[in-house]
Amino acid sequence: MAPGSMSHSSKGSDSLTILSANVRGFQTNIGDLIHSHVIPHNPDIIATVETFLNPTVPENFGQISGFSKWHRKDRTNGTFGGVAVCFRKALSVQLEIDMPDHLELMFFRLWLTTQETVLICVCYRPQWQGGEPIEFLLNNLDGILHHHTCKNILIVGDLNQHLVARFFEDLLTIHGLNNHVDFPTHISGSSLDPVISDLPEGAVSCRSIGAVGSSDHYAIFSRINLKATREEALTRTIWTWNKGCWQSFRSVLENTAWDSILTGDVNTQAFKLTETLKNLQERFIPHKSYKVKAGDQPWFGHTCRLAAEEKSRAWIRFKRNPSTENKLTHKAACKRMKQVQKWAIEQWRQSLSTKLTNRSIGSKDWWSLVKQQQGLTTQDCIPPLYKP
């Protein structure tokens, strides 16, 4: 089966969700971050600070299915510190505004369905830097917002603001910002990890969702009333060429009045020829369409989608009526899903192996496939284009 046409729709959900956490060691606590926080809460953005990462840690370490790579700012001098952020692949994000190397801040632009953008800042303020990171925001925030035409600002991270209270209050007052976190974010009872925005109080809700592994900070889950642009789904059509009615296809082609179809200039003729062949293809070649989600694995095709939907339906039936029969049906659906997944992964691996060993493949395509499997491909999103 070969892929045919593919189309997508771009829309936004009712809110944007952010999981922010001081992890106190990314390599140590990434497992608990994923299983205890990312999977249950399904955030759009994951922002971590005090990652303790350095250039010896591979770029693809800790990559989460359905999300971009981790965009990192490791501490350049010394150990500890560091920032790492990743985004759900469906979001339209422009990555990283240039920053002074010694400041552990990262900026991103996120596109909304209103064709406007929001500026997201992830910040860690080490205590030894004093008020410098907050002073940088105080002096440069308006300029950054104006230069990148961002309507709103969101700042998350660990600012240790209780030690630089005057700088922090000046930042909020001068720029008209609100700190939406009014609860402890540290085991000591202190509130060190703010969620700051220029949105009204009621537009942002935050709550603590517990510590991440061995970290002494609590992760924060924030829901913001912003509709982010998302590539929600792709509609993919696959064609079963080996089951096509080719004799009928050829017969219709032979009896087509091409002289009456192929008229006008060359562009018009090319369009009419394409439309004619496409209509006949849909008529004589068995095909089916299905939705592909932005975060789907490359091997997760139509067969996997059907098995997953059947598993979901079986679970819903069992939940509504926990009978022995429904339990067995759900168990069988789970087993079927595992079998289909194993088959799909093997088929995909064989296809990938064939591509990599094919003598006709160019070096550029070969390296692209290799880097993709290593998780080293760049995932910078091209923002939506609204003007010619």
pLDDT digits (tens, 9 = 90+) for 286-333: 887 766 665 566 777 778 878 888 888 888 888 889 899 999 998 998
Q: Where are the alpha helices (DSSP H) in 176-257?
A: 246-254
Last residue of a domain, one of 230, 253, 275: 230
86 in Cβ contact with 70 (< 8 Å)? yes
CA angle, residues 78, 81, 83, in degrees to nearest 5: 130
- Same domain for 222 and 166: yes
Q: What is the pLDDT of residues 7-50, one digit of tens each?
A: 444 455 689 999 999 999 999 999 999 999 998 999 999 999 99
The conformation of residue 380, written as its DSSP 8-state character, comes to: P
3-state secondary structure at position 29: helix
CATH code for the domain of 23: 3.60.10.10
- Same domain for 55 and 126: yes
Last residue of a domain, one of 185, 202, 230: 230
CA angle, residues 316, 347, 345, in degrees to nearest 5: 50
- The answer to whether residue 182 sits within a structural domain is yes
**Mean per-residue pLDDT of the chain:** 85
- Same domain for 255 and 193: no
- Same domain for 282 and 198: no
- Count of domains in the chain? 2
pLDDT at residue 159 is higher than 80: yes
Model pLDDT, residue 4 = 45
- Same domain for 146 and 37: yes
- Same domain for 249 and 131: no
pTM: 0.66
% of the chain at pLDDT higher than 90: 51
Model pLDDT, residue 295 = 57
Strand partners, 238: 3, 288
- Same domain for 189 and 117: yes
Q: What is the pLDDT of residues 64-102, one digit of tens each?
A: 888 988 999 999 887 889 999 999 988 888 876 677 888
Q: Whole-angstrom Cα distance, residue 191 to residue 214?
A: 18
pLDDT at residue 377 is higher than 90: no
Q: What is the pLDDT of residues 121-145, one digit of tens each?
A: 999 999 889 999 999 999 999 999 9
Confidence bin at 386 (pLDDT 50/70/90): low
- Kindly state the average pLDDT of the residues 255-279: 92
- Same domain for 169 and 47: yes
Tokens (6 digits) for 253: 């082609």
Q: Whole-angstrom Cα distance, residue 263 to residue 244?
A: 29
Residues of the domain holding 273: 237-374
How many C-beta atoms lie closer than 10 Å to residue 350's C-beta? 10
